[in-house]
Structure 1
Amino acid sequence: MQIALTKKLADTIGVKPPAIDETINPLFSWTANWTKVWDNRRTEDMIVLVNNATRFTVAIYQVKRKDLKNLEVMMKTAIFNTLLFMNVNLEIVKEYMRLAGEVELTQNRGRQSAAWVSKAGIECSFYVGREYNGIEKMFCDTVGVPTNYRHVNISTNRDEGFVPYRAMVNALIELTGMLAYKYRAFELLVSLNLEVYKAVRRIIVPADLEFARLHKVLQSVFGWKNYHLYDFTIFDGNKRLPVARIVPFEDDLEYDEHAILMKGHTLAEFLPEHKHMLYTYDMGDNWEHEIQLVQVIEEHDKESPYLLEASGQTPPEDVGGVGGYVNFREIMLNPDNSEYKEMKEWARFWEPELSDWEKRPRIIHL
């Protein structure tokens, strides 16, 4: 595997690598840069890699200078982990890494590849800025994932544009002849009872999906804005007795010493042994989403998380719970109501019905 370092990264680690070997299959060739995320910090703390054949992005955050002595191992591990994080078949990833071989550092001299990795670094920085506070000590080598869902190469001719993760998956299929996806998955039925109707979403998710990512999936398909606290409760077979309460933050444990901190915990630890969960979002409005396990798919061969179907609009944030929503909806369905104009301005783009796009089956990009 050939990884071409920008001058900035080469100078940072103090090496003068040889020129890039143009004869190597570009699928086994990456360009890497050392990127600054936070303007108010002196430390530049993210390594960004872009595949030279597919523009697939891998990013590693927070990288300290002392960690750079293990740069080759760190980058190779990040490529492996990012592909797995996107549910690519483990066997196809192993075969790619085997064929790519050991890391060989070279010097990048291509303006195009330098531009690609610089642009990817900006996009990854925006993602990190949204997700992390920049203060907490943490390490993650999969922060490049969202960048791979963006269209690229459309500045001059839109017909030549493509999506990096699709290009990478197709290239891996062609390289190995293997299935791109093969993993255990759960089909879930999620219902939000709003008294006048139920907002329902049927989704497929990987069995090893962490609860923190399931939260993001549910926020996405229900159109929530992630403004409030949340938790998960696992129930027994009769949906009466709670088996476990799973919370996102250590502060939550102060109020429930029996709760489980969700970091690192996956659905497969509780499903299919238990088939019912409750996802509560916004402890004030108390939106309770009932989650039912529909089926276990032992060898799922498609992308996920995936929205199979959707019905029923979600309330706007901070509407006042189910009771407040019923009143709000009555007003919004009657333009002659004296409060309609005020509510319309408050709700902004909210509509009482889901759009065709919101109802259509699709990949859930996190």
Structure 2
Amino acid sequence: MSIKPGNRNEVFDKGVKNMQIALTKKLADALEEKIPAIDGSINPLFTWTANWTKVWDNRRTEDMLVLVNNATRFTVAIYQVKRKELKNVEKMMKAAIVNTLLSMNLNPELVNEYMRLAGELEFVRNNNRQTAAWVTRAGLECAFHVGREYNGIQKMYCDTVGASSNYRIVNYSGNTNDSFYPYKAMVDALTELTGMQAYKCRAFELRVSLDLEVYKAERKVIVPADLEFARFHKVLQYVFHWKNYHLYDFAIIDEKTKKTVVRLVPTEEGLEYDQSAVLMEGHTLAEFLPEHKQMLYTYDMGDNWEHIIQLIRVIEEYDGELPYLLEASGQTPPEDVGGVGGFVNFREIMLNPEHPEYAEMKAWSRYWTPELREWERNPKVIHL
């Protein structure tokens, strides 16, 4: 049974005894359990279809768990999960559902209430071809995400790799009335179920400036206070149109002395060159803001793009989707243009179609324009 977004009033019976996880045959065989048939009378918001699948073709065994909610098609995925780790699968699944919802900055009270109403997990046998197709498709999308984000070599564990899939439209068949976004369907369902507001968190409004000598490219953003630096890096890459090709770091700056308080680096290799640096994994903005009101984000140690980040204000209770781009001004350089000096020269060429190097630079920079397009300037939610 599937419930279309906006038509769920009749299914929100709060008398749920267990959250059902309907297993595909592959996952059921891996768990080596005898499981009952699915109970079709349970609210589908409390029923998920789960599969165990492979991300890398050259691997002999599956390494990712994928769950899709039967009411909203909301995706949760866990990578890497080996066979020996399936003994903890119930605990992993519950944590992954919570962490994926929280990673999208939903109200923690709303998430906790959903899990309270859901009760304990109960494994059942999937008998629905449609939901099996949903979880297979979701697995492919999550595999593409893992392939983009990770090298497949290092041993790692992440239970929020399915989050980005929820921002892609589903059920598109030419009739726009049938299509929807899983994240929005889940938000609507949970707010209707619990009566709680969808978003509520402490947030920071920040101004980020990139001095390009001839002008400044500036972005004003609102981000969750507990945003980890690794995800903040992705926000900055998005709003400045970088391609994430190069190394980067963050430096927290003392407002009075202008000296670096701490430098945060993304990898262990960064610690080899600076023993005083700190690995950014697990660290959040709230650990340093608002005590410090300025930081420096440096991207591409060759071109050396230095973004000055300033705290504008602290918002104690923000009730909207985050991260959010408030304002954007000033076009940003293309990758590998040669730093500020190279960009100034490149821009002069691009502003003069008669320049002998114009055609070459135009072909190299492809879709780059001297000014921001309207859609780039408009305020928008940032879906990572």
Instruction: Please state which band the TM-score falls in when normalised by the shorter chain.
Output: over 0.9
**Aligned: 1:164 with 2:143:** no
**Aligned: 1:187 with 2:205:** yes
TM-score normalized with structure 1 length: 0.99
**Alpha-carbon shift at residue 115 of structure 1 (Å):** 0.5
Measure the CA separation in 2 of the matches of 1:179 and 1:72.
28
The share of aligned pairs that are identical, in percent, is: 74
Specify the alignment match of 2:229 in structure 1.
211
- In the TM superposition, structure 1's runs of 4+ consecutive aligned residues that sit over 3 Å from their partners are none
- Which letter does structure 1 place at the counterpart of 2:225? A
Larger mean CA deviation between 266-275 and 11-20 belongs to 11-20
TM-score normalized with structure 2 length: 0.94
**Alpha-carbon shift at residue 365 of structure 1 (Å):** 1.1
User: Which runs of no fewer than 5 residues in structure 2 stay unpaired?
Assistant: 1-18
**Alpha-carbon shift at residue 79 of structure 1 (Å):** 0.4
For residues 51-66 of structure 1, the aligned pairs below 5 Å read 51-66=69-84
Specify the alignment match of 1:246 in structure 2.
264
Measure the CA separation in 2 of the matches of 1:70 and 1:247.
32
Preserved CA contact (<8 Å) 1:229 1:283: yes
Specify the alignment match of 1:257 in structure 2.
275
Specify the alignment match of 2:240 in structure 1.
222
Secondary structure of 1:151's counterpart equals coil
Specify the alignment match of 2:316 in structure 1.
298
**Aligned: 1:97 with 2:115:** yes
**Alpha-carbon shift at residue 155 of structure 1 (Å):** 2.5
Specify the alignment match of 2:307 in structure 1.
289
Specify the alignment match of 1:319 in structure 2.
337
Measure the CA separation in 2 of the matches of 1:77 and 1:229.
31
Specify the alignment match of 2:10 in structure 1.
none
Larger mean CA deviation between 16-25 and 267-276 belongs to 16-25
- Which letter does structure 2 place at the counterpart of 1:187? E
**Alpha-carbon shift at residue 311 of structure 1 (Å):** 0.6
User: Which runs of no fewer than 5 residues in structure 1 stay unpaired?
Assistant: none
Measure the CA separation in 2 of the matches of 1:250 and 1:37.
25
Deviations 1:105-163 (A, max 9, x none): 10101011000000000000000011111110111110000000000000342321000
Measure the CA separation in 2 of the matches of 1:327 and 1:239.
34
Secondary structure of 1:296's counterpart equals strand
Measure the CA separation in 2 of the matches of 1:132 and 1:78.
19
**Alpha-carbon shift at residue 232 of structure 1 (Å):** 0.6
**Alpha-carbon shift at residue 64 of structure 1 (Å):** 1.2
**Aligned: 1:6 with 2:24:** yes
Secondary structure of 2:120's counterpart equals coil
**Alpha-carbon shift at residue 69 of structure 1 (Å):** 1.3
Preserved CA contact (<8 Å) 1:239 1:276: no
Give RMSD over aligned pairs. 0.8
Measure the CA separation in 1 of the matches of 2:246 and 2:54.
30
Specify the alignment match of 1:275 in structure 2.
293
**Alpha-carbon shift at residue 238 of structure 1 (Å):** 2.7
Measure the CA separation in 1 of the matches of 2:293 and 2:67.
40
Larger mean CA deviation between 87-96 and 7-16 belongs to 7-16
